[in-house]
Amino acid sequence: MKRREFIALAGGAAAWPLAVRAQQKAIQVIGFLRSTSPGALGPPVLTAFHQGLSETGYVEEQNVTIEYRWAEGSYDRLPAMAADLVSRKVDLIVASGPPSARMAKSATSTIPIVFSVGADPVAEGLVASLARPGGNLTGFSILISELMPKRLELLLELVPQARVLGKPEQRAHSRLTIST
């Protein structure tokens, strides 16, 4: 082997690990923005979130990092938290609840935002329409306020003699009492 061939081979061998590292996919970073505290969300919801990520091949601290931001009920902290996630150049923002989704939307028009809300996202100003959200936001809504009248209607069909559907002191316990 000639000297030039040896130098080229040695140089290529030394550079090969660098080229392999450059081709490896960087760890994705998800920003998680919520107006409440971690306890208010409930362990089952966070477990389901992590399970959904896992089912699509993302495992926290293996190939994805999650930057959590909890406003602890202080909505005035949300703009700074959303701006912080944007400045960290996260790959995606998960915004739970209308206030968080609105702040994320106002903080960036380029980073994809996935929201979950209980209200109508069109009425909340998050998306242009349900069929064509537009912009960088997408997500889902369980339309709690829109479905409640229908739920009560169905309940009254099932129990037509009902006159009282719950009492104020029982609302805190999330139990529904039907009195006939």
Give residue-wise pLDDT tens across range 34-43. 998 887 766 7
Give the residue with greater pLDDT, 26 vs 101: 101
Q: Note the pLDDT of residue 12.
A: 47
Query: To the nearest 5 percent, what fractions of the chain are helix, strand and coil?
Result: 45, 20, 35
162 and 107 both lie in a single domain: no
83 and 168 both lie in a single domain: no
115 and 36 both lie in a single domain: yes
The answer to whether residue 140 scores a pLDDT higher than 80 is yes
| Average pLDDT of span 8-33 | 61
Mean pLDDT of the chain: 80
In a domain, 96, yes or no: yes
The answer to whether residue 19 scores a pLDDT higher than 60 is no
* Tally of domains within the chain: 2
Q: Note the pLDDT of residue 20.
A: 45
- Would you call 133 exposed, middle or buried from its count of C-beta atoms within 10 A (0-12, 13-18, 19+)? middle
In a domain, 33, yes or no: yes
The CA-CA-CA angle for residues 113, 118, 123, to 5°, reads 75
Confidence of residue 25 (pLDDT cuts 50, 70, 90): low
Segments forming the whole domain that contains residue 92: 28-142
User: Which tokens belong to 23?
Assistant: 């081709």
The CA-CA-CA angle for residues 159, 161, 166, to 5°, reads 70
In a domain, 7, yes or no: no
114 and 40 both lie in a single domain: yes
What's 38's domain CATH number? 3.40.50.2300
Enumerate the H helices of the chain as residue ranges: 3-23, 38-41, 43-55, 78-87, 98-107, 144-158, 168-171
What is the rounded CA–CA span in Å between residue 107 and residue 100? Answer: 11
In a domain, 13, yes or no: no
82 and 121 both lie in a single domain: yes
Rounded to 10°, the helix 98-107/78-87 angle is 50
The answer to whether residue 50 scores a pLDDT higher than 80 is yes
111 and 73 both lie in a single domain: yes
Quote the pTM value.
Answer: 0.68
Q: Note the pLDDT of residue 65.
A: 94
Q: Note the pLDDT of residue 114.
A: 92
90 and 125 both lie in a single domain: yes
For 152-172, what is each residue's pLDDT tens digit? Answer: 888 888 888 877 766 555 444
173 and 85 both lie in a single domain: no
In a domain, 104, yes or no: yes
97 and 52 both lie in a single domain: yes
